[in-house]
Structure 1
Amino acid sequence: MKKLKFILAVPFLFLLVSCGGKKNEVVKVGLLHSLSGTMTISETPVRDSELLAISEINANGGVLGKKIVPVEADGESDPQVFAEKARELLQDEKVATVFGCWTSQSRKAVKPVFEEFYGLLWYPVQYEGMEASPNIMYMGASPNQQIVPAVDYCAENIGKNMFLVGNDYIFPRTANRIIKAQLAQMDGVCVGEEYVPMGHKDFTEIILKIKAAKPNVILNTLNGDSNVAFFAELTKQGITSSVIPVMSFSMAEEEVSKMDASKLAGNLVSWNYYETTQTPRNEKFVSDYKTAYGEDRMTADPIEAGYIAVYMWAAACEKAGSFEVEAVRVASKGLSFTAPEGTVTIDGGNQHLYKQVRIGKINSTGLIDEVWATPYPVKPDPYLSTYQWARGL
């Protein structure tokens, strides 16, 4: 088993923190992400944004007078490894909190570990909902803040015949169960539904099925580098956004940057934040991120959510006057932060964020332009309890 390691320096902005001083001069936090395997493309940039936030907080005096020392663990795109590394971080490293995971498989794998040791995980990605753990702070969208409004947008602006394609695990299957229930109440039709393993690369047969089904829109819940292969095959078979547009739920600027953006132009995504989001706070965030990691690097929703998570944790610690999990958890209720996407607030009842919903369209440069948004942050409803058609899901 690989040893966990301290992250003591990162190029450009990152403040050097010495571990040679007294123990009470620092506070350790865990960063638990896939730095290898199929999810590397998505998770490494989130880790980078968390390190950026840590460096900024340390440069301003730290938290409760202590410097933050990150301890990094590689989940290796494997849920079992995520669980093992979570246990090491909490039991052996005794970190104050952990920032990490991406897939719902990894989150579900570490959830019992955090509940056993009463740790606190700050989870940075949109997900399928149907969960609210006292040991998880959910920084990404719940389904009513991403999936549901995206389906409504497609139905109203493109058409109601939809083809569903995703990886074969918790998020895509639950998301598609929600989508099919939503389609049923609006007289829409699921004209096809296909799943592939994580890391799958051959989409020839699936795209032939899509062409035969003739949907108005494809709803895509693929994760990681499967997206690269999927869109390459769409292009190969002549399916552009003008033929059949794709609405993606787990593909943002960082993934787009690994593809030919000119061939993706016109396809849609649903998130709460884009690099192009027009707020004063975002201009600085984008500038600082690129200064730290290179002008060619792009920000994206999960990247921003990881950044939010570190600042929210620090603010909750300051409010609580403590690093103890229960004190921090209680202090976080109702806590607000002026984030790059706008003001976000932790719902005290379910530990999810109020977030503004934004539908975006990929342009030929690889950036995403907002084409629709809610006028205000939406209250998180992870169990879709306010939707009659979702009962029984």
Structure 2
Amino acid sequence: MRKKMFSKVLAVLSAMTLGAVLTGCGNESGTSGDTVKVGLLHSLTGSMAISEKSVRDAEVLAIEEINAAGGVLGKKIEYVEEDGASEPSTFATKAEKLIDSEKVATIFGCWTSSSRKAVKPIVEDYDALLWYPVQYEGMESSKNIVYTGAAPNQQIVPAIEYLIEQGYTKFFLLGSDYVFPRTANMIINAQLENAGLEVVGEEYADMDQTDFAAIIAKIESAKPDVIINTLNGTGNVSFFKQMSEKNYTSDDYMTMSFSIAEEEVSTIGSDILQGHLVSWNYYQTTETEKNTAFVEAYKKKYGEDRVTSDPAEAAYDAVYLWKAACEKADSFEVDDVIKAIEEGGISFDAPEGTVAINGENHHLAKPVRIGEVGTDGLIHEVYATEAVDPDPYLTTYDWAVAAGIQPLE
């Protein structure tokens, strides 16, 4: 009897000792010893790699800067990288791997809304946290996502307002066939209808489409004075190069693009894109002291021929905002970090200007900047605002409320 009792006591003591050892090793999300692990999830291959590489690179730059300055809460950041391969289902699988197997404290990732929507239920089911760095169509808010790119009232709506003020009246809507372009065009249709203006055509291309002859023929037939471009990835390269082969320039068909930044200009060519318009919150040419340092550091690490961009800058900001949230929470645990975010007061003196997280909808207050592509391959600001509060559901616009705009899945 004594022998059995001794064995039970020994088992209990062993379990208690093991628990103490595990606690001593660090059981907070993603932490082990002197490091905290985060996940980077971007398309390193496939049609979106052209755009997402710069986003990944900016995140790595931020991580290295933070580590050089002492890390976060005394721990150095270790990153684990996965390739979403430009496929939403792959993004979902890799997100689950990062959370469940790698035990990361947070994920920085995605570009297309399709990839974000594939990852959203994963981070919500696991109560994880995703930092999403790209402008998007809005109509979404999740406690498990921080949206560091523009909401539609910080890019789409002001871009159309700018074009109307410039006297454009006949709009042709061209986008890739997935959720962002279709929802963006739903918003634009409602906005233009409210202004009494005409949409003369609306066309969508597959994500991997390379032949735009039929769509260009429809543009020629419709005779718009501006094309609203929501193509993504390699579709932009094919479309603009085929327009150039017909000797069309911005004088013939002006475009306002929402997914062409400096990286895409570099790939497509400034000779093709010069004079065309884009709408973002940041450009490499943005004049702030923080941006001067950011551009210098980015080029020093990746080469003088590399360019920064709005998504890259928003991704860079995301890492610093996560650091700020962890330090306010004094924890890496997701629930603690989210609570710190929702209490408000998380901000960062970013290259684009000071950005702050709205604790209610997890979007940032950001300035709006309309830019024009120059012959130097850079984008130059032609219009700007102060920081604009995020309105992802466009509840402050009567025409949007009246139109009953709903998110597309």
- Give the TM-score category using the shorter length: over 0.9
CA distance in 1: counterparts of 2:86 and 2:93, whole angstroms: 13
Aligned to 1:342: 353
Once the two structures are superposed, residues 162-214 of structure 1 have per-residue CA deviations (whole angstroms, 9 ceiling, x without a partner) of 00000000000000000000000001111000001102111111111111111
Aligned to 1:163: 172
The amino acid across from 2:109 in the alignment is: G
Once the two structures are superposed, residues 324-379 of structure 1 have per-residue CA deviations (whole angstroms, 9 ceiling, x without a partner) of 111111212331110000000101110000000000000011100000011x1000
Aligned to 2:68: 59
8 Å CA contact 1:27, 1:67 repeated in 2: yes
Mapping 1:131-146, distance limit 5 Å: 131-146=140-155
8 Å CA contact 1:357, 1:378 repeated in 2: yes
Aligned to 1:385: 395
CA distance in 1: counterparts of 2:210 and 2:289, whole angstroms: 40
Mapping 1:225-264, distance limit 5 Å: 225-264=234-273
Aligned to 1:373: 384
The amino acid across from 1:35 in the alignment is: L
CA distance in 1: counterparts of 2:248 and 2:36, whole angstroms: 51
Unaligned runs of 5+ in 1: 1-21
Aligned to 2:7: none
Unaligned runs of 5+ in 2: 1-30
Per the TM alignment, residue 262 of structure 1 is displaced from its structure 2 partner at its CA by 1.4
Per the TM alignment, residue 260 of structure 1 is displaced from its structure 2 partner at its CA by 2.0
Aligned to 1:11: none
CA distance in 1: counterparts of 2:39 and 2:167, whole angstroms: 43
Aligned to 2:8: none
CA distance in 1: counterparts of 2:72 and 2:345, whole angstroms: 20
CA distance in 2: counterparts of 1:151 and 1:122, whole angstroms: 27
CA distance in 1: counterparts of 2:364 and 2:240, whole angstroms: 31
Aligned to 2:131: 122
8 Å CA contact 1:158, 1:216 repeated in 2: no
Aligned to 1:351: 362
The amino acid across from 1:340 in the alignment is: P
Once the two structures are superposed, residues 118-176 of structure 1 have per-residue CA deviations (whole angstroms, 9 ceiling, x without a partner) of 00000000000000000000000000000000011111114121000000000000000
The amino acid across from 2:333 in the alignment is: E
Mapping 1:317-336, distance limit 5 Å: 317-332=326-341, 333-336=344-347
- TM-score (ref. length: structure 1): 0.93
Root-mean-square deviation (Å): 0.9
Aligned to 2:229: 220
8 Å CA contact 2:129, 2:144 repeated in 1: yes
Once the two structures are superposed, residues 46-96 of structure 1 have per-residue CA deviations (whole angstroms, 9 ceiling, x without a partner) of 000000000000001110000100000000000000000000000110100
2:371 paired residue among 360, 363, 384: 360
Aligned to 1:50: 59
Per the TM alignment, residue 287 of structure 1 is displaced from its structure 2 partner at its CA by 0.2
| Local SS of the residue matching 1:228 | helix
Q: Does 1:35 align with 2:44?
A: yes
When structure 1 is superposed on structure 2, of 266-275 and 210-219 the one drifting more is 210-219
CA distance in 1: counterparts of 2:330 and 2:260, whole angstroms: 38
Q: Report the number of matched residues.
A: 371
| Local SS of the residue matching 1:137 | strand
Aligned to 2:190: 181
The amino acid across from 1:344 in the alignment is: V
Per the TM alignment, residue 238 of structure 1 is displaced from its structure 2 partner at its CA by 2.6
8 Å CA contact 1:263, 1:364 repeated in 2: no
Once the two structures are superposed, residues 269-298 of structure 1 have per-residue CA deviations (whole angstroms, 9 ceiling, x without a partner) of 000000000001000000000000000000
CA distance in 2: counterparts of 1:378 and 1:40, whole angstroms: 30
- TM-score (ref. length: structure 2): 0.90
The amino acid across from 1:381 in the alignment is: D
8 Å CA contact 1:158, 1:217 repeated in 2: no
Per the TM alignment, residue 225 of structure 1 is displaced from its structure 2 partner at its CA by 1.1
Per the TM alignment, residue 216 of structure 1 is displaced from its structure 2 partner at its CA by 1.2
Off by >3 Å, runs of 4+ in structure 1: none
8 Å CA contact 2:324, 2:347 repeated in 1: no
Structure that is richer in helix per residue: 2
| Local SS of the residue matching 2:388 | coil
Aligned to 1:6: none
% same residue: 61
Higher Cα Rg, which structure? 2
